Amino acid sequence: MAEGLTPEQVLALVPHREPFRFIDEIVELGDDHIVASYRFPEDADFYRGHFPGHPITPGVLLIEAMAQAGVVALGIHLLARESGPEEVGKVITVFTDANIEFGGLVLPGQRVVTTGRKLFFRRRKLRAEVEMKLEDGTVVSSGVLSGMGVPR
């Protein structure tokens, strides 16, 4: 097994950028899990239309945030451990499937904490059990997400 990357190095390698990066910090990173956080900005443009007068974060963006942490960032870490850090730049992770249940809302300005646990990682395909919670521990969404690394 190759040398791993630090949480800061993994975050720098996540290909998403503002305004479409939904990870502020990787809090914890191991060979089978990741914990990351993100605060949805109160002034994000999508809140103007979703829903006027009572804005909530769109579910599709919650899934994206879960995928960026639990599949993309964790996948970068696992690929670096398996094949070496130089291999990470040769692939980009694409989202392949999701089975997510929602149980709460994320309002403008709220911080979420996403935990991803590796179910399997082989042939550059990662399937992870992912859960998103508010800072108070309320579960917002949970389920299984998958992605795979493809050549750039």
- Global pTM reads 0.96
HSE-up of residue 104 (Cα within 13 Å, Cβ side):
16
Please tell me what DSSP assigns to residue 31.
Answer: S
Please tell me what DSSP assigns to residue 45.
Answer: G
List the CATH code of the domain at 7-151. 3.10.129.10
Residue 54 among the catalytic residues: no
Show the CA angle centred on residue 146, arms to residues 42 and 3, nearest 5°.
Answer: 90
pLDDT band at residue 20, thresholds of 50, 70 and 90? Answer: very high
pLDDT at 83 over 70: yes
| pLDDT tens-digit map of 109-127 | 999 999 999 999 999 999 9
| pLDDT tens-digit map of 85-115 | 888 999 999 989 999 999 999 999 999 999 9
pLDDT band at residue 23, thresholds of 50, 70 and 90? Answer: very high
Instruction: From the candidates 16, 50, 54, 77, give the one annotated as an active-site residue.
Output: 50
Mean pLDDT, rounded, for 128-133: 98
pLDDT at 7 over 90: yes
| pLDDT tens-digit map of 25-58 | 999 999 999 999 999 999 999 999 999 999 999 9
Q: CB count, 10 Å around CB of 18?
A: 6
pLDDT recorded at residue 4: 80
pLDDT recorded at residue 2: 65
Sign of CA dihedral 137, 57, 23, 83: positive
d(CA 23, CA 25): 6
d(CA 97, CA 136): 29
Q: Per-domain residue ranges for the chain?
A: 7-151
